[in-house]
Amino acid sequence: FSLHETFPRVMGARVRKVPVTDGFGFDADAWRDALAEGPKLVFLANPCNPTGAMLAAGELERIVAGLPDTALLVLDEAYGEFARSHPGYPDGLEALRRLDRPWIVLRTFSKAYGLAGVRVGYGIASDEALIQALDRVRTPYNVNHPAQEAAIAALGDPAHLADTVRRTALEIARVSGLLRDAGLKVVPSAANFLFIDTGRPADHVARELHHAGVIVKAWREPGYETCIRASLSTPGDNDVFVRCLTDICAKDTP
């Protein structure tokens, strides 16, 4: 997730990115090598943005076991609500609670709760001192009163959340299937978006989709320039996306 890189850079950090496997999964060797460099801060998003891939319980344990003593682990569960029903998805809080080391779990109301516009989320940390340190450097007006009220109301409506998660999972499975049937490579997603290798320059595909009224993100990092990330929507909107994408790909054989 780009801000895991941007904010540390703003603070003068040297950022080391850990690659994924060719299948867009967790690369245990790459993580071992990166952790051996002695990072002070380790960001891990589970599920991962942009791939939607999920780290299973055993994989999370391996990363935690390899953390240097000096490292603060930040486990970003922005899409955790979508992944929780997937077999093997670890409850990050449960996993980290047992540890005698500093950690923070990040959650947000921007994704499964659908409240991105109100800008509210929360962190759960290993100890009081860490929370106080964050409190000293946070901006003074960071979460406004209506946002806090909205968050509390959202927490009080688990049925709405469960319905959103259930409907999203159905659409993720349905749209993934349609795109794979059309010959596209789709990363298995435990989130509410899909990472798709279109086999064509992603910038071109995204521009064509935009002309048709569909906005996706084209990937520009070396090695991924044929990939797009698309957040899913209602079944009707998703059908428009599938039709436009398959039309573009049929027209422009690489």
CB–CB of 104/124 below 8 Å?
Answer: yes
Please give the structure tokens belonging to residue 137. 């450097």
* HEC letters along 100-146: CCCEEEEEECCCCCCCHHHCCEEEEECCHHHHHHHHHHCCCCCCCHH
Nearer to ligand PLP, 78 or 230 (CB): 78
| Shortest separation between residue 241's beta carbon and ligand PLP, angstroms | 19
Nearer to ligand PLP, 7 or 243 (CB): 7
Amino acid at the residue 219? W
Alpha helices, H only, the chain = 2-10, 28-36, 57-66, 80-83, 92-97, 128-137, 145-155, 158-181, 202-211, 235-251
Nearer to ligand PLP, 34 or 75 (CB): 75
| Shortest separation between residue 112's beta carbon and ligand PLP, angstroms | 11
| Shortest separation between residue 161's beta carbon and ligand PLP, angstroms | 16
CB–CB of 60/90 below 8 Å?
Answer: yes
Rounded to whole angstroms, the Cα distance separating 203 from 207 reads: 6
Nearer to ligand PLP, 117 or 222 (CB): 117
CA–chain centroid gap for 248, Å, is 27
Rounded to whole angstroms, the Cα distance separating 16 from 12 reads: 13
Which residues contact ligand PLP (rule: CB under 6 A)?
1, 45, 49, 76, 78, 108, 110, 116, 121
| Shortest separation between residue 23's beta carbon and ligand PLP, angstroms | 20
Nearer to ligand PLP, 73 or 249 (CB): 73
Phi/psi at 72 (5° precision): -95, 125
| Shortest separation between residue 3's beta carbon and ligand PLP, angstroms | 7
| Shortest separation between residue 187's beta carbon and ligand PLP, angstroms | 15
Nearer to ligand PLP, 78 or 248 (CB): 78
Rounded to whole angstroms, the Cα distance separating 108 from 192 reads: 14
In angstroms, what is the C-alpha Rg of the chain? Answer: 19
Nearer to ligand PLP, 77 or 208 (CB): 77
| Shortest separation between residue 140's beta carbon and ligand PLP, angstroms | 18
Rounded to whole angstroms, the Cα distance separating 14 from 11 reads: 9
